[in-house]
């Protein structure tokens, strides 16, 4: 059982409580619930996203391009809010491509990554004029065939599977044997072929991993990415326009986690950028982030619909859980289950508290939102809030598992 001096969750300061009510974007949670009309739901805050982007812009050198990866949260209205604030976006399916285009992103500022892009997806990307991140030799050949058929000369980035990995990352996506990108050793030969295949070389995409809270590790990895880009630049068929150095910025989800020091990373990039531009004249350096931009801006809200005691432990049973929020249940990329930051959004923080387990309605022990957490004393009808839920929430969850109603989404 957690004790009062156990590691705490980093405060979710964007959401104050006034009396019984958690306030989201100036609105009491109960009014938001009434507006949505049913629980469970996700609520996202425009102002928290915008604040996040402003903090990033302040910490990073001005010339650094900031991209948003839709995979973290593809809600069309949310992507529409981000579109005018981002320099570009990264999509990983044709569906995401349409959302980004509908949001007003210019095709030249969109890149399409992900393994196993189908002929139809490549064809759509070429027709739309977006940049395709080549992840295999088959994709490269297929691109060339489709481009010839369409009479177009599409821009391509070569996605590289680096020969190192992002240390300290929650999810590694580069280094060793991976399904992403092409191995470094194969890259020179492919770069040599690109122009002759009727494709336009645009740049390199080197994405190494996700959910890193350690600035020194992020910087160490960026050093290696830059070094690799310099090595491969010698094989570029035409001048490199974009160097996508990935992202991997993490969010402090769990007790004891502290935020990533973006000022430290920004200071490193401020001295690295002139070095890169000196070595690769005219290149634009891109930082590509999903989670970091949207995670804090989202809350998952569900209602307590049952209550019981089992073997001296209190169980609050909510109408939402794993099927809408796999990450918070601990079943999406966690090895040991830890609690996301959770509160009761309809009870004061300075009132009576008790240790509780909060579970969802699914008939599986995996459906757990809070395990032995000290929370404001709650009752039937109270609203459970899971913070830092704006990324890898609804669309990263098995919504049809157990055939319960789907969750709604609202953007404030
Ligand atoms: C998943 C992914 C991202 C986003 O990662 P976050 O951890 O959400 O920032 C960015 N780029 C690519 C290529 C990805 O696969």
| DSSP string of 95-146, one letter each residue | HHHHHHHHTT--GGGEEE--S---HHHHHHHHHHT-EEEE-SHHHHHHHHHH
Averaged pLDDT, 266-286: 98
User: Does residue 216 surpass a pLDDT of 80?
Assistant: yes
pLDDT bucket at 2, cuts 50 / 70 / 90: low
SS3 of 349-363: the string is CCCCEEEEEEECCCC
* Mean pLDDT, residues 120-129 taken together: 97
Beta carbons of 296 and 386 less than 8 angstroms apart: no
Ligand 1-lining residues (CB < 6 angstroms): 69, 71-72, 90, 113, 207, 210-211, 247-248, 288-292, 391
Q: Whose CA is nearest to atom 6 of ligand 1?
A: 290
pLDDT at 193 over 70: yes
Under 8 Å CB-to-CB from 398, ≥6 apart: which residues? 322, 323, 326
pLDDT, position 4:
60
Ligand 1 nearest atom to the CA of residue 250, by list position: 7
Confidence band (pLDDT; 50, 70, 90) for 137? Answer: very high
Rounded to whole angstroms, the maximal C-alpha distance in the chain is: 72
- Taking the centre of ligand 1 as the mean of its atom positions, its distance from the CA of residue 27, in whole angstroms, is 31
Above pLDDT 70, what percent of the chain?
Answer: 97
Average pLDDT, rounded, for the chain: 95
Residue range 201-218: mean pLDDT, rounded:
94
Which has more confidence, 87 or 162? Answer: 87
Q: What is the pLDDT of residue 284?
A: 98
What is the pLDDT at residue 333?
Answer: 84
301 and 40 Cβ atoms separated by less than 8 Å: yes
Confidence of residue 177 (pLDDT cuts 50, 70, 90): confident
pLDDT of 166 above 80: no
Q: Within 10 Å of residue 314's Cβ, how many Cβ atoms?
A: 17
pLDDT bin (cut points 50, 70, 90) of residue 3 is low
Q: What mean pLDDT comes out for the span 217-240?
A: 96
The per-residue pLDDT for 334 is 85
Task: Give which of 108, 123, 114, 84 is closest to 96, Cα–Cα.
Answer: 114
Average pLDDT score over residue span 302-318: 98
What pLDDT, on a 0 to 100 scale, did the predictor assign at position 194? 94
Nearest CA to 111 out of 82, 60, 70, 152 is that of 70
Q: Is the pLDDT of residue 175 over 80?
A: no
Q: What is the whole-number distance in angstroms between the Cα of residue 292 and the centre of ligand 1?
A: 10
Q: Relative to the CA of 391, which ligand 1 atom is closest?
A: 8
Helix (H, G, I), strand (E, B) or coil at 155: strand
User: Does the structure show a pLDDT above 80 at 18?
Assistant: yes
Percent of the chain with pLDDT over 90: 91
Cα 335 to chain centroid distance, Å, stands at: 19
Cβ neighbours around 335 below 10 Å, total: 7
> Does the pLDDT of residue 170 top 90, yes or no?
no
Whether 299 shows a pLDDT value over 70: the answer reads yes
Distance between CA atoms of 96 and 90, rounded to whole angstroms? Answer: 9
- Is pLDDT above 90 for 294? yes
Report how far apart, in Å, the C-alpha atoms of 262 and of each of 45, 195, 306 are: 21, 38, 42
- Give pLDDT tens digits for 25-59: 999 999 999 999 999 999 999 999 999 999 999 99
Which pLDDT tens digit goes with each residue over 384-399?
A: 999 999 999 999 999 9
374 CA → ligand 1 middle, Å: 33
Give the C-alpha separation, 326 to 401, whole Å: 11
What per-residue confidence (pLDDT) applies to 154?
A: 97
**Which of 210, 212, 286 to probe ligand 1 with, by most ligand atoms within 8 A of CB?**
210
């Amino acid at each position: 059982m957690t004790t009062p001096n156990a590691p705490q969750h980093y405060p979710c300061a964007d959401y104050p409580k006034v009396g019984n009510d958690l306030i989201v974007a100036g609105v009491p949670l109960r009014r938001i619930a009434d507006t949505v009309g049913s629980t469970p739901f996700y609520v996202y805050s425009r102002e928290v996203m915008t604040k996040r982007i402003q903090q990033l812009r302040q910490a990073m050198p001005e010339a650094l391009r900031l991209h948003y990866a839709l995979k973290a949260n593809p809600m069309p209205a949310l992507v529409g809010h981000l579109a005018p604030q981002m320099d570009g976006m990264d999509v990983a399916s044709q569906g995401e491509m349409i959302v980004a285009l509908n949001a007003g992103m210019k095709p030249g500022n969109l890149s399409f990554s992900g393994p196993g892009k189908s002929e139809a997806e490549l064809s759509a990307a070429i027709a739309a004029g977006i940049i395709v991140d080549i992840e295999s030799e088959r994709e490269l050949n297929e691109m060339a065939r489709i481009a010839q058929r369409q009479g177009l000369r599409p821009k391509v980035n070569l996605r590289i599977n680096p020969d190192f990995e992002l240390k300290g990352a929650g999810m590694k996506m580069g280094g060793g044997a991976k399904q992403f990108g092409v191995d470094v050793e194969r890259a020179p030969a492919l770069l040599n072929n690109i122009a002759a295949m009727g494709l336009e070389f645009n740049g390199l995409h080197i994405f190494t991993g996700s959910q890193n809270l350690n600035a020194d590790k992020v910087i160490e990895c960026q050093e290696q990415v830059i070094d690799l880009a310099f090595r491969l630049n010698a094989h570029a068929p035409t001048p490199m326009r974009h160097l996508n150095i990935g992202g991997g910025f993490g969010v402090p989800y769990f007790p004891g986690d502290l935020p990533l020091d973006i000022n430290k990373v920004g200071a490193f990039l401020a001295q690295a950028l002139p070095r890169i531009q000196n070595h690769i004249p005219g290149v634009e350096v891109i930082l590509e982030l999903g989670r970091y931009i949207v995670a804090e801006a989202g809350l998952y809200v569900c209602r307590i619909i049952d209550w019981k005691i089992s073997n001296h432990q209190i169980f609050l049973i909510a109408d939402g859980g794993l099927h809408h929020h796999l990450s918070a249940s601990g079943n999406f990329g966690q090895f040991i289950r830890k609690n996301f930051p959770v509160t009761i959004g309809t009870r004061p923080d300075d009132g009576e508290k008790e240790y509780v387990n909060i579970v969802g309605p699914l008939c599986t022990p995996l459906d757990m939102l809070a395990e032995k957490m000290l929370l404001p004393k709650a009752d039937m009808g109270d609203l459970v809030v899971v913070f830092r839920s704006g990324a890898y929430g609804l669309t990263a969850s098995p919504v049809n598992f157990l055939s319960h109603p789907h969750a709604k989404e609202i953007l404030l």
